Amino acid sequence: MNTNLLLGVQNLSVAFDTRHGRVAVLDNVNLHLHKGETLAIVGESGSGKSVTAYAALGVLDPAGKITSGKVEFDGRNLLELSPQEMRKLRGRDLAMIFQSPRTALNPIRKVGQQIEDVLQAHNPGMSGKERKEAAIEQLASVKITDPARRYNAYPYELSGGMCQRVMIAIALACKPRLLIADEPTTGLDVTTQVVIMDLVHELAQAHGMATILITHDLRLAANYCSRVAVMHAGQVLEDAPIANLFKGARHPYTKRLIAATPKPGITLEKLASIPGQLPDLRQPQPPCRFSARCDRCVPECAAPGLTLVPYSDNASHLIACRNPL
């Protein structure tokens, strides 16, 4: 057993029961994260990034069912824990920053009290005075100026960037070992995005916390993560150190995703787009869900049992493709 492994998602499949019947969204997702490591999950909208995170943390929409797989955290399969055991782990060992801070915060509760709620749930021995001091300290740690005054603010009194800082303060209140940040800077202006991402990165480093950053933005992934998992239509197609990915993406989808990333000096007209659309998951899917959009598709792509395997014996560069670049 690799003792340095913190999170191992193995063959995780999730289906949603919808009006159109059962939709197989995640198909045998495999991910791994070592202690203190920073992994990005990238992919187009609807590729299953958030569902993967929700399933792993046990906060999946009730319509979603885990149909197979394991989520090992520090040697325990989270999918076998009771709801009470999972609640204990969430907040204390595992924390998540959600896509939109304004809706994730309680609008009628002071932000300081919302930090205290997490502290109280996980440190019942703390006195009220200690909790308030710790909440103010948390607000200071996410660089909110005048934290004692801001403790009394309601979310509507704060800017989007401030609300996201409060979300980070809540997520990190109990110094978790794993933080999942789901598009933490969506809806924020570019300057605030950088400030927030720098803050998450700095706090993660300071606490030796492993981080999963979910993002559409490959540049953001390149700036803050050491490794990237590329998802498409509920499958992980490539998983590699960031430098390998930019220098030598092996999956045709990753190559197209990189070509579709805006760069300085490239006009919108010249920017490559990825042909076709995400497949309709209500329909039965071929083993490779990218095959209908792929210009390198060969007859072998229709063979069942597509899995992530090391590319050319490189154990750190994994790829799920029958005809890689």
Ligand X SMILES: Nc1ncnc2c1ncn2[C@@H]1O[C@H](COP(=O)(O)OP(=O)(O)OP(=O)(O)O)[C@@H](O)[C@H]1O
- Closer of 39 and 51 to ligand X (Cβ): 51
Interface with ligand X (CB under 6 A): 16, 18, 25, 43, 45-51, 61, 63, 216, 281
Residue 76 pairs in a beta bridge with: 73
The partner in contact with residue 40, picked from Mg ion, ligand X, none with C-beta cut-offs of 5 to 8 angstroms by kind, is: none
Q: Which stretch binds Mg ion (CB under 5 A): 44-52, 90-98, 143-151, 166-174?
A: 44-52
Burial label for 296, CB within 10 Å (0-12, 13-18, 19+), is: middle
Residue 293 interacts with which of Mg ion, ligand X, none, CB < 5 to 8 Å by class: none
Token pair 């885990």 is found at 66
* Three-class DSSP category at 87: helix
Which of 32, 105, 90, 19 lies closest to 58, judged by CA?
A: 90
Residue 185 interacts with Mg ion (CB under 5 A)? no
**Closest CB to ligand X among residues 43, 155:** 43
Give me the long-range contacts of 312-319 (CB less than 8 A, separation at least 24).
314/244, 316/227, 316/240, 316/241, 316/244, 317/238, 317/239, 317/240, 317/241, 317/244, 317/250, 318/30, 318/238, 318/239, 318/240, 319/237, 319/238, 319/239, 319/240, 319/250, 319/251
Part of the chain binding Mg ion (CB under 5 A), chosen from 45-53, 75-83, 237-245, 266-274: 45-53
**Of 9 and 321, CB closest to Mg ion:** 9
Q: Are 235 and 29 in contact (CB under 8 A)?
A: yes
Instruction: Give residues 131-150 in contact with Mg ion (rule: CB under 5 A).
Output: none
The residue type found at 119 is L
19 versus 247: smaller Cβ distance to ligand X = 19
The residue among 199 and 214 lying less far from Mg ion, judged by its C-beta, is: 214
In the bound state with ligand X, the residue whose beta carbon lies nearer, of 23 and 126, is 23
Is 50 a binding residue for Mg ion by CB under 5 A? The answer is: yes
Residue 47 contact among ligand X, Mg ion, none, beta carbon within 5 to 8 Å by kind: ligand X
Smallest gap, in angstroms, from Cβ of residue 302 to Mg ion? 30
Residues that bind Mg ion (CB under 5 A): 50
